[in-house]
């Protein structure tokens, strides 16, 4: 397939063609002074900005380039975080720079695979937000490109580096819950109060065509730009935004990541102007357990987490910690959770440790906690659930 520019035409820039086909070895990676990692920020929106800020606070990093299709985002990022950085509207110009060691990718989902493949082929290490793929078909080419390039790629399922998630995994592996057969995952958020498109966009300073990239052309739409996760061309709704975090934990704990069947249903009960459902129920079958997902964007009560049920006990696991509840002696419909027999927490946001792990691996060339294969598997679970949701309610491998 020929390399194309962001509007779909042939890419004629010789320097980018050269970068795209070069092997990692030809770059002879050399870190900056004092082992400083020089970073290019691609897509510094709310999440991207947080990731770059985290890398900066961890030390021995320097942001030398920033890329965004919206000029005010680029300039605000430069003003507050990296005044000396060069800013770009075309991510390929960041990849062309020999002084960029690694990139942090936090663009809309439909750009993740393309930019990540171009980045590793240009000799850059990559931190890429989840989901690393936007379709099932993107998984194998991404894995192949990363393996061929031998670059470090960390994917954004930060629970893999979160202290209490690792402790919970060890407890389950030790038999604390007995045999686990059901992992119920859930996420409830309030999007009723978040229906507007946010601050007005100065379209004269937005490269809308570049934002669209490979998807079909259309007039500027403020809601699609601000809430792209809930439109199929740009995101995958709750399945790839929310469920992907919890199903990755399930994969990690079960030691398997290939669902044998998926069922899903959903409705647009509240947010009619968006494309993806706001209320969803899904179930994925694995050899060892069933993984369920319930989601409603109507309120905050309970938030997000997992209930992992075993023959001896159950564990409620969430980003604030976990609690283990021993099995009760008799059936009850008036059940009230007893005092947990064991609790665990972490001292800080796991995103910090996840970024630290990435930076450590950039220096050591060790495999990170969430390598590309892990990210592709987590995304695959979200994609097959969406295929069931958008089809006849059932997905099974061919």
Residue 32 binned pLDDT confidence (cut-offs 50, 70, 90)? low
Tell the burial category of 334 from Cβ atoms under 10 Å away from its Cβ (0-12, 13-18, 19+): exposed
Q: Quick one: pLDDT at residue 335?
A: 72
Tell me, what's the pLDDT at 108? 98
In this predicted structure, what is the pLDDT of residue 30? 55
Percentage of the chain beyond pLDDT 90 is: 83
CA-to-CA separations, 236 to 37, 168, 240, 245, 379, in angstroms, rounded? 32, 29, 5, 13, 10
In the chain, the percentage of residues whose pLDDT exceeds 70 is 90
Q: Average model confidence (pLDDT) for the chain?
A: 91
Instruction: Please report the domains of the chain, with CATH numbers, ordered by start residue.
Output: 14-157 (3.40.50.720), 160-352+380-395 (3.30.360.10)
Please state which of the ranges 56-65, 232-241, 334-343, 354-363 shows the lowest mean pLDDT.
334-343
pLDDT digits (tens, 9 = 90+) for 103-117: 999 999 999 999 999
- Write the pLDDT tens digit of every residue in 187-204: 999 998 767 656 789 999
Residue 28: which pLDDT band, with cuts at 50, 70 and 90? very low
pLDDT for 338 beyond 90: no
- In degrees to the nearest 10, what's the CA dihedral of 148, 378, 308, 357? 50
Distance CA 374, CA 318 (A): 20
Of the two residues 35 and 396, the one the predictor is more confident about is 396
Whether the pLDDT of residue 69 is over 70: the answer is: yes
Torsion sign over Cα 359, 360, 361, 362? positive
- 242-296 tens-digit pLDDT: 999 999 999 999 999 999 999 999 999 999 889 999 999 999 999 999 999 999 9
Average pLDDT (229-234) is 97
Whole-prediction pTM value? 0.91
What confidence tens digit (pLDDT) does each residue in 147-170 have? 999 999 999 999 999 999 999 999
Give all strands (DSSP E) within the chain, no chain letters. Answer: 37-42, 61-67, 86-88, 102-105, 125-128, 153-155, 180-188, 261-267, 279-285, 290-296, 304-310, 313-318, 321-326, 342-344, 394-395
pLDDT computed for residue 14 by the predictor: 34
Q: Is 90 exceeded by the pLDDT of residue 307?
A: yes
């Amino acid at each position: 397939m020929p390399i194309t520019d962001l509007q779909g035409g042939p890419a004629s820039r010789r320097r980018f063609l050269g970068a795209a086909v070069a092997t990692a070895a030809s770059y002879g990676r050399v870190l900056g002074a004092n082992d400083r990692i020089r970073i290019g920020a691609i897509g510094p929106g709310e999440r991207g900005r947080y990731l770059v800020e985290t890398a900066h606070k961890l030390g021995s990093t320097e942001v030398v380039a920033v890329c965004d299709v919206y000029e005010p985002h680029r300039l605000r990022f430069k003003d507050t975080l990296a005044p000396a950085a060069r800013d770009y509207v075309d991510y390929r110009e960041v990849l062309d720079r020999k002084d960029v060691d690694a990139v942090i990718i936090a663009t809309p989902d439909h750009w993740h695979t393309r930019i990540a493949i171009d980045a590793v082929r240009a000799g850059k290490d990559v931190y890429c937000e989840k989901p690393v793929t936007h379709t099932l078909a993107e998984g194998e080419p991404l894995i192949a490109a990363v393996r061929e390039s031998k670059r470090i790629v960390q994917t954004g399922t930060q629970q893999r580096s979160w202290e209490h998630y690792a402790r919970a995994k060890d407890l389950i592996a030790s038999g604390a819950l007995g045999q686990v057969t059901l992992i119920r995952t859930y996420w409830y958020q309030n999007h009723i109060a978040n229906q507007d498109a946010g601050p007005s966009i100065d379209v004269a300073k937005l490269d809308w065509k570049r934002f669209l990239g490979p998807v079909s052309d259309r007039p500027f739409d403020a809601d699609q730009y601000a809430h792209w996760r809930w439109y199929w061309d740009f995101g995958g709704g709750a399945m790839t935004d929310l469920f992907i975090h919890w199903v990755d934990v399930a994969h990690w704990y079960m030691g398997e990541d290939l669902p044998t069947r998926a069922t899903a249903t959903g409705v647009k009960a509240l947010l009619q102007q968006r494309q993806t459902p706001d209320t969803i129920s899904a179930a994925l079958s694995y050899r060892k357990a069933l993984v369920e997902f319930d989601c409603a964007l109507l309120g905050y009560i309970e938030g997000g987490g997992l209930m992992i049920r075993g023959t001896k006990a159950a564990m409620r696991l969430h980003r604030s910690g976990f609690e283990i509840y021993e099995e009760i002696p008799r059936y009850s419909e008036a059940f009230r959770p007893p005092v947990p027999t064991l609790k665990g927490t972490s001292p800080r946001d796991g995103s910090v440790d996840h970024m630290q792990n990435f930076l450590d691996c950039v220096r050591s060339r060790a495999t990170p906690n969430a390598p590309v294969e892990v990210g592709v598997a987590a995304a695959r679970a979200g994609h097959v659930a969406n295929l069931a949701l958008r089809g006849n309610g059932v997905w099974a491998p061919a």
